[in-house]
Amino acid sequence: MTADWTDGEPRIVVSVCAACGHRWYLRRAQCPNCGGSVSSTTSAGVGTVVAVTSGERGAIALVDLVDGVRVLGRCGSSLRPGSAVRLRFQAGADDPVAVPFFEAESS
């Protein structure tokens, strides 16, 4: 199991099934599609916004990464569905670890 941002390492790890090629984000000990063994890859952190909201606890986005997984993260308030985004990590005052934060791809 490769350490990721939830362990304090600022990266998103994508799990890949060695047997069937299924890719997922939420950590599991085996493939939910076939039970196969897990290998992992580090996301390049590039993707497209699927949905965005802003509430009392700040703006958050659901992002489809080009690595083939959907990820929840915080974001800037200017993003819209369809926006191209890039991943960085940011820790607020109450956060024990830096969490995914998506900002507009400057390109």
Partner 1 sequence: MAWIRGAGLTAFGRLPGRDALGWQATAATLAMADAGTRPRDVDGLIVGYATTLDHLMPANLLAEYLGITPAVALGAAVGGATGVAMVVQAVALVDSGAASTVLVVAGEDRASGQSTQTSTATLAQVGHRRYEVPIGATVPQYYALLASAYLHEHGLTPGDGLAPLAVAMRAHAARHDGAQFRTPVTAADVRASRPVADPLNLLDCCPVSDGGAAVVVSATAGGGRAVEIVGTGQAHLHQHISEADMHEFGARVSAGRALARAGVRIGEVDVFGIYDSFTITLALLLEELGLARPGGAGAAASEGRFDLDGPIPVNPHGGLLSYGHCGVGGGMAHLVEIVTQLRGESGGRQVARARQGLVHADGGVMSAHVTAVLRAARGAT
CB of 34 to Zn ion, least distance (A): 3
Task: Name which position in 6, 37, 40, 42 contacts partner 1 (CB under 8 A).
Answer: 6
Report long-range pairs for 22-26 (Cβ below 8 Å, ≥24 apart).
23/67, 23/68, 23/69, 24/69, 25/69, 25/70, 25/71
- By beta-carbon proximity to partner 1, the closer residue of 18 and 81 is 81
50 binds partner 1 (CB under 8 A): yes
27 binds partner 1 (CB under 8 A): yes
Residues touching partner 1: how many (CB under 8 A)?
Answer: 31
